[in-house]
A and B are shown apart, each in its own frame.
Chain A
Amino acid sequence: EPEVTQTPSHQVTQMGQEVILRCVPISNHLYFYWYRQILGQKVEFLVSFYNNEISEKSEIFDDQFSVERPDGSNFTLKIRSTKLEDSAMYFCASKTSGVTDTQYFGPGTRLTVL
């Protein structure tokens, strides 16, 4: 069964450093998302991406964040200058088309900012 994959599973970085989290969505999916979950809290929407542009973003997704689909299979989230409060699980999700609403999630990347 096709799955969303994410790398790395755990990333440790120093405050102020840039990180890139990588995702490979399910192959025939066209809509891509990033969510985050701070330990013990709700899953929160960050951004949605379709047709090579951002379609919606939350107030969390400020200028420190950016997304890219650099090729036909990868989808990345970049955090330019990490802060302690960026420590969280980051989940990538994807869905097939605009007809369905169901999003399928990857296993997540745990980001620890020291």
Chain B
Amino acid sequence: EDQVTQSPEALRLQEGESSSLNCSYTVSGLRGLFWYRQDPGKGPEFLFTLYSAGEEKEKERLKATLTKKESFLHITAPKPEDSATYLCAVIRGTSYDKVIFGPGTSLSVIP
């Protein structure tokens, strides 16, 4: 069964304290992996799509990497406005469009 897990469940950082969020997946024939940011009561906001092991993408203080079994979202020198839930999601090669989401990591950045 396709599965996406994320760790930690929650993470509390001091402003400027860099860290990484982990996404592990078990999916037959991964076609792509996504990272989204979700603020409370809002829809997922797209951050990155990764397709191949070894691929990296960067946006401001965020960098996403992909291996054959997992993905990492690195947050460098976070600011309070980076506080949100970060969702990892995958899509299978055999699926038209069904995106399978992980449970998310809730990040709090304390000033």
Seen from chain A, the residues whose Cβ lies within 8 Å of a Cβ on chain B are 4, 31, 33, 35, 41-45, 48, 50, 55-56, 58, 89, 91, 95, 101-108, 110
Q: Which residues of A contact B89 (CB under 8 A)?
A: 43
Q: How far is the CB of B106 from chain A (nearest CB, A)?
A: 11
Seen from chain B, the residues whose Cβ lies within 8 Å of a Cβ on chain A are 31-32, 34, 36, 41-46, 49, 87, 89, 91, 95-104
Q: Which residues of A contact B95 (CB under 8 A)?
A: 56
Q: Check A42 against B103 for contact (C-beta < 8 Å).
A: yes
B49 to chain A: closest residue by CB? A102
Question: Could you say which of B31, B45, B97 contacts A105, with CB atoms under 8 Å apart?
Answer: B45
- Known contacts A44-B101, A56-B97: A102-B46 contact under CB 8 Å: yes
Q: Check A48 against B42 for contact (C-beta < 8 Å).
A: no
Question: Could you say which of A4, A58, A101 contacts B49, with CB atoms under 8 Å apart?
Answer: A101
